[in-house]
Structure 1
């Protein structure tokens, strides 16, 4: 198996500086010697076989179990070498790995058929980890989704605030007291922002016990319990109607077999003159299977769609697409902040869980950043409505709405809560 791994790495790494020490004690260096050196040691023959048979899974798995170590450099540096060492060749271009990808894609339905019971179990696997873990690397508002970097030097907290502002402007909430549904509300940051800044009445739904408890407490501490309520329930059991619907970072957990159900339910909950904003990870190329490591260890039951897969369901749901925006590299920068923060407080994470957990999360954060920076992942923001006239004719209202929100954030006591309205633009 050693010669298979050597042949694969030789094709992957034409530039860069990667050294691999194999289980038999021999070492080989790949690349042209440029860049920061990375030294990986494969400790067991089992790990060597895994890398030869299924590198997409076994690289992260064996790093987590300790069967692979990094003697120099870090996991992000290793993945950078893998994904930038030869832009004309990817590991899945080989016949066997192409077969594995196709096999996983064909049988993805079994993993993604998320019933209400299964969806709750999948969510609890990741989001019911202790909140102390997420405090180590998220922003103060616990936004666990792609931030919106208006400037390269923007802090994570400012970029996450900009994300909430950008989404709020796209929702085009034009009067106080409008009812908003937040599907997959997380720890409540988006819902609380809408209540504070635009005077919305928000209902947030989540399947995570941990997130629900924290969101309820945050609303109470902020004196917003009358404006914001959080429910521990599936979106499929939610009753409407709502003036606006927002969903940030939840659609990745729906699973392709449930796409039509998701959009039809959203259509039934949204008023005829309402607006919906969907913020989700997506891929820029053709549909394929999820990474098997991420599927097992991080997000079971999830699926990252191509835009074509989403649109097929939207077209059958009764909703119309009124705007599409692709956020490129914003998530790469978000994940860079998360990874650097996590690594700076790694010992605290180890005290909460253990070494294997930390290694798995190192790989998860580094691999995710790599996927957004050098591979095929982006973020889709889809604005949907029943009526094409539900939003202004041009996109200028988004910038004006953001300016209004910035002013309101800077002087929150200057207006009575809910008194401010977005500037309006005539429709046809």
Structure 2
């Protein structure tokens, strides 16, 4: 910024000097025109060794003299002419050597003079004008120029201060804030001027938007890391339970405590159950990992009604006495991954069956609402406490851990169902009322998903 002001000041100074030089050249040119105005003199104009003054100058009274062919100098009798006579006599050698018809400058003891020598019948006519007036005008303009430069310097200084205040200082603030952001202070922000459209204001808004984005990204990363740590802790806990059971039965067998055939058969059955539970848990964690990584889905048309019929048939195969009802049209087709949708709806239905009494009914209702396919799984069980509802889709969360483990649940069923629905650009909501039952609603777009 300072260098730019210096360049501007140098340019203004150079312009002022150039104007003074041009002005001086112009004034001297006018003097030359005055001197050339005497070309019409004749010898009759000279009487008693004096030249009659026939022309007057716009600048001052000129000195006019005739340099005869024998080298004698005649001059006029006015005061200016008498004053210049000695200067002309002292510079007579330069005058004789001068080119005829070409004005030149003569340096005298009292100043500088502009001289023109022309030829006449009686010799050479000399006419001279003092350049003192030109020097005074140029000197006056020089002082005016210096005053103008001083004023311009003040204006440029004020302008520079204003520009620095609006431009350079915000840049320094931005630099300091950037260093703070890099040091880990994600809350740092620059002050914004509402409605301002200056570059500094735009920079402040852009910096704040960037800082907010970085802060939100850091918050999401921290939340993801907390979730991962919790997931690992929960998974370790869930895997430890079946492993402890398996190791316990193995230890009993090793020390010979299972000598009874019936006890050995029961231990083998329990070991197989825990192994199957551990395998289901690992499969569920793998499915969640794939869904979190946004693994590609196999897109094709899926009939939700046919899918629901198959699920009810599967449940009746293991629990033939359960009251399962299906209320649906002949078909309702969406575009999605059939295996993932079967998994999500199966987790919801099995969750309803597992967590209600045998006397409770479970109803599946399928229909359309606008541009969405709606699948509702409602049971008439005991309901869920409102405090537990927001956490039902959390991984490994259980309302009743002991009962869930008794039914072989991993605590990941609803979490997987929600992830599948979200991957299909749908929504999953859970409503429950104590003593009445629980309703899980799955909504999927009828259009294709991205």
TM-score normalised by the chain length of structure 1: 0.22
Indicate the structure (1 or 2) with the bigger Cα radius of gyration. Answer: 2
Larger RCO (CA within 8 A; separation ≥ 6): 1
TM-score normalised by the chain length of structure 2: 0.21
| Higher fraction of helix | 2
